[in-house]
């Protein structure tokens, strides 16, 4: 019959007249196609998961190398900070940072910024009780200071010092000067020497302060200093203030000694007072000789 159909139409039809035999032959082909498609989907999923796994591992490796070791917040740093705290801080601030009445305040919520400022400037551990703690040679080095700060941060939380550059560029110095005169000069003075405050407290000199210490002080508000949160001074404004302070400190006075930069006529005042004084001494000496 198939020969008759082929002779009538000039070709062999793709489907037989009954369709039974050819349909049975096509079933394995369709099954093979389904299996091939399933294998391709599984392969695609495996490739996708492998790519995601490689990306995740790369990110974890990068974050581990650039974060914990640089900022001092790894488990090892926190544990080292706990040990240092137990030796040097626990007698005043308590085992759980709760503070001890008459000896030291609570450290809950002060953050690593406050700890870094107090410890790096040598104010803590304190040598005695008083309204003002003067800057001293720090007992701990930079790494140990950051470890103590990391431990306190891990227990009590609070403001942290931002990472990266803490000083604005030269274009921000003018803005930093304006902000300093508005927010800081009334206590620290226009020459950064500091000044006495009420109740035996003192606004300290900024002449030895580092970028990190200035930012830490603004974030934590030590003693009578107000806290300058990011709502009051943005991070960019804080960096501008640091740029102004450090640039003025590093710049030389044109024309000679600035005499603590008390004004543009400081040298003339000194010359006038010194000159008149020397003249009076000469007059008195000559008068004594003529007698």
Q: Where are the domains of the chain?
A: 72-160, 162-251
Q: Write down the CATH number for the domain with range 72-160.
A: 1.10.760.10
Q: What is the mean pLDDT of residues 44-70?
A: 57
**Peptide bond preceding 125 in cis form (omega within 30 of 0):** yes
CB atoms within 10 A of CB 221: 17
Instruction: Round the average pLDDT of the chain to a whole number and report it.
Output: 82
Architecture of domain 162-251 in CATH?
Orthogonal Bundle (1.10)
Residue 187 corresponds to which tokens in the numbers above?
């206590």
Lowest mean pLDDT segment, chosen from 134-138, 212-216, 232-236, 252-256: 252-256
**3-state DSSP percent of the chain in helix, strand and coil, to 5:** 60, 0, 40
Rounded-to-integer distance, Cα 99 and Cα 90, Å: 9
Helix (H, G, I), strand (E, B) or coil at 148: helix
| Among 132, 126, 261, 138, CA closest to 208 | 138
Residue 114 corresponds to which tokens in the numbers above?
């406050």
pLDDT of 279 strictly over 80: yes
pLDDT of 59 strictly over 50: no
Q: Check if 72-160 and 162-251 are the same fold.
A: yes
In the block, residue with structure tokens 């003529």: 290
State pLDDT tens for residues 179-231.
999 999 999 998 898 988 887 788 999 999 999 999 999 999 998 899 999 99
């Amino acid at each position: 019959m198939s020969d008759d159909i082929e002779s009538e139409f000039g070709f062999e039809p793709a489907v037989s007249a009954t369709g039974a035999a050819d349909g049975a032959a096509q079933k394995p082909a369709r099954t093979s196609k389904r299996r091939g498609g399933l294998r391709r989907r599984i392969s695609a999923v495996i490739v996708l998961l492998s790519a995601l796994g490689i990306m995740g591992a790369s990110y974890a490796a990068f974050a581990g190398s650039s974060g914990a070791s640089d900022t001092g917040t790894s488990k090892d740093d926190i544990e080292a900070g706990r040990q240092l705290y137990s030796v040097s801080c626990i007698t005043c601030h308590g085992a759980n940072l709760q503070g001890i009445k008459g000896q030291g305040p609570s450290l809950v919520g002060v953050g690593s910024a406050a700890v870094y400022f107090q410890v790096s400037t040598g104010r803590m551990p304190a040598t005695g009780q008083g309204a003002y703690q003067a800057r001293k040679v720090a007992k701990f080095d930079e790494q140990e200071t950051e470890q103590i700060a990391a431990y306190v941060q891990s227990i009590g939380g609070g403001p942290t010092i931002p990472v990266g550059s803490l000083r604005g560029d030269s274009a921000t110095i003018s803005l930093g000067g304006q902000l300093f005169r508005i927010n800081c000069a009334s206590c620290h003075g226009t020459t950064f020497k500091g000044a006495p405050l009420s109740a035996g407290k003192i606004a300290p000199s900024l002449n030895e302060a580092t970028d990190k210490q200035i930012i830490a002080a603004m974030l934590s508000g030590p003693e009578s200093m107000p806290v300058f949160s990011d709502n009051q001074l943005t991070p960019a404004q804080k960096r501008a203030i640091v740029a102004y302070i450090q640039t003025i400190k590093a710049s030389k006075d044109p024309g000679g000694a600035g005499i603590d930069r008390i004004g543009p006529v400081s040298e003339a005042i000194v010359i006038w007072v010194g000159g008149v004084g020397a003249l009076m001494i000469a007059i008195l000496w000559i008068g004594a000789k003529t007698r």
